[in-house]
Amino acid sequence: MEPGKSQAPSPHILIFPLPIQGPVNAMLKLAELCATAGLKVTFLNSEYNHSRLVRFANIPSRFDKYPGFEFRTISDGLPGDHSRSGNRFMEIFEAMNIRTKPLLKDMLVEMIPPVDCIIGDGILEFVLDVANELGIPIINCRTIGACFLWSNYSIPDMIEAGELPIKGSEDMDRPITAVPGMEKFLRCRDLPSFCRASNMSDSTLLRYGTVTRKSFTASGVILNTFEELEGPILSQIRSKCPNVYTIGPLNEHFKTRMSLENGVSSQSSNYFWEVDRSCMSWLDRQPNQSVVYVSFGSIAVMSDEQIMEFWHGLVNSKRRFLWVVRPDSVAGKGFQGEDTPKELVEGTKDRGYIVGWAAQEEVLSHRAVGGFLTHSGWNSTMESIVAGVPMLCWPYFADQQLNSRFVGEVWKLGIDMKDVCDRKVVEKMVNDLMVERKDEFVKSAAAMASLAKDCVSVGGPSYCNFDRLIEDIKTISL
Ligand code: UDP
C-alpha cells in the first residue's frame, strides 16, 4: 500500500436466502466463501430456521473464526406452529411480502456499518424492491438450475404461443416448443408444478414470468450450476441477463477453496434436523455401489399410500437401501405403525436402514452408494452429480418436474419416474438403475462428476466466476 493511503474498508454484504434447508445450506457456504475472501458478511436468517441451526449446526460459534461475520434474524411472517412443509410451504411468500418486507427495510436503514451490497434470493422479489428503494446494489442468488430459471422466464412466451395453461391431465404429454433451447424434449408434464394447477389464471401464471424477468434487473445473478452442465441454457439466459456468475457445484467449490485455505478438505453442515450418523457405519458394512440412497428433501410430505408403494418397491427390488424419512414428512397416520406388513419389516431389517436425517453430501460420496432415489430438488441434484451417483427421480413440486426431465433425457444421468407411484414400477426402476442399466449410468455420471470437479478447480469457470464476483462486489461498494 502507498504510504499515507489507508486501505479501503472491507465491503459489507448482507446475504438473505429463501428460508428453507437447500438455499440456506448453499447460501451459508457462499457466505463462508465471501468471508474467506475478506468481505464483512451479515447472514440474515428467519427466526424459525435460525433456532434450528443454533440447535443442530453449532451456529453461530462455528463462524467465530471469521472476523465481522454476523448472524441476524427476521420473522418469516408465519406463526411459530406453521408446518412450513408440503404445499403449505408456498404460504411463506405472501407472509414474507406482507410482514418481512417492512422489517427488512427498517433493519437495512439502521444497520451499522451500512450494507454495501445485498445478495438476495432471487425468488424473494421484495428484497429487490427494498434494495432499489434504498439505493443498495443487489446481486441475486438462485439455488435452482438455469433450466428452471429459463423456463420461468419463458412463461409469457408459452402463454402467447397458446401452450399454457395446461388443459388437465389428458394434456400432459403435449410438446412445448416456446422455450428456446428445450424444443426437442419438453412436455407439459415437465413444466414447473405450478403450471399444472387447473384453476391457474393467465395473469397468475404470467406473474411467475414477470417476477423472473424483473430479477434479471439486479446487478447480476449467481447460480449454483456449472457451464459444462447447462451451457446451452446459460447462453439463452445471458442473452437477457449478461452478468451471470455460475459458481457450482457449490458444495465441491466450498471444499476446494477451504482445502486451499486451510490445507484440509472440510465440509460445512448447516442442518435443520439432527443428523443420524449411525447410517455411516451401516454404509461401511455394505459392498461397493450396492446401496440405493432414498431421500425426498426437506419439504416434501408424502401420504401413507405413497410411502407404502415406495417401501414395497424398495423391499421387493431386493436391493439394499438407506432411506431418510424426516419426522415431518408423512402426512397420514404414521410410517411404522403396528399394522406394517411383516415382509416390509423383515425386508428392511435384512437390507435396509432408515434414519430421520442424514449427512447427505457424505452419504452420496460413500463408496457403498450406487444410486439415489430423489425428489430432484436442485441441491440434491447438484450433490448427486458431483458425487457421480446416478439418479432415479420422483419429482414432488416446483422446479423438480423440470430437473428430473433434464436428468433423464438431456444429461442421461438416470431415470425420470415422474407422476408414477406404484410399487411394481419402483421395483423395476430401482433394478434398472442399480443392475440392468448400471454400467451406462455409472459411466455418464462419472464423466459429469469429473467435469463438475474441473469447473470448481483452480482456473475452472466456476472458480474464476467466484473471484470475479468478489472483485465486482468490491467495485460496486466503492
Ligand atoms: N439433506 C440432508 N440430509 C437429508 C436430506 C436432505 O442433508 O437427510 C439436504 C441435501 O443435502 C440438500 C437439502 O437438504 O442440500 C435439500 O435441498 P433440495 O434443494 O435438494 O430439496 P428441498 O429440500 O429444497 O426440496
Could you read off the pLDDT of 283-302 as tens digits, one per residue? 999 999 999 999 999 999 99
How large is the average pLDDT for residues 38-56? Answer: 96
pLDDT value, residue 23: 95
pLDDT exceeds cutoff 90 at 202: no
| Arithmetic mean of pLDDT over the chain | 94
CB 323, CB 358: distance < 8 Å: no
298 CA distance to ligand 1 middle (Å): 5
Say what percent of the chain tops pLDDT 90.
86
Q: Is 296 exposed, middle or buried (0-12, 13-18, 19+ CB in 10 A)?
A: buried
Which atom of ligand 1 is found nearest the CA of 398? 25
Q: At what angle do helices 125-134 and 202-215 cross, to 10 degrees?
A: 50
> What's the pLDDT tens digit per position in 32-41?
999 999 999 9
Q: What is the ipTM of this complex?
A: 1.00
Q: At what angle do helices 227-238 and 146-153 cross, to 10 degrees?
A: 20
> What's the pLDDT tens digit per position in 182-196?
999 999 999 998 898
471 CA distance to ligand 1 middle (Å): 31
Where would I find the beta strands (DSSP E) of 17-79? 40-46, 70-74
361 CA distance to ligand 1 middle (Å): 9
pLDDT value, residue 181: 97
> What's the pLDDT tens digit per position in 389-439?
999 999 999 999 999 999 999 999 999 999 999 999 999 999 999 999 999
357 CA distance to ligand 1 middle (Å): 9
* Mutation choice for ligand 1 from 49, 142, 364, 379, CB with most ligand atoms inside 8 A: 379
pLDDT value, residue 3: 54
pLDDT value, residue 90: 86
CA distance 140 to 142: 7
pLDDT exceeds cutoff 70 at 443: yes
* Mutation choice for ligand 1 from 85, 302, 360, CB with most ligand atoms inside 8 A: 360
Which atom of ligand 1 is found nearest the CA of 381? 20
Which atom of ligand 1 is found nearest the CA of 355? 8
Which atom of ligand 1 is found nearest the CA of 22? 17
Grade residue 206 by pLDDT with cuts at 50, 70 and 90: confident
> What's the pLDDT tens digit per position in 366-403?
999 999 999 999 999 999 999 999 999 999 999 999 99
Look up residue 392 and give its three cell numbers. Answer: 432415479
Q: Whose CA is nearest to atom 13 of ligand 1?
A: 22
Which atom of ligand 1 is found nearest the CA of 356? 8
> What's the pLDDT tens digit per position in 98-127?
999 999 999 999 999 999 999 999 999 999
pLDDT exceeds cutoff 60 at 2: no
pLDDT exceeds cutoff 90 at 199: no
9 CA distance to ligand 1 middle (Å): 36
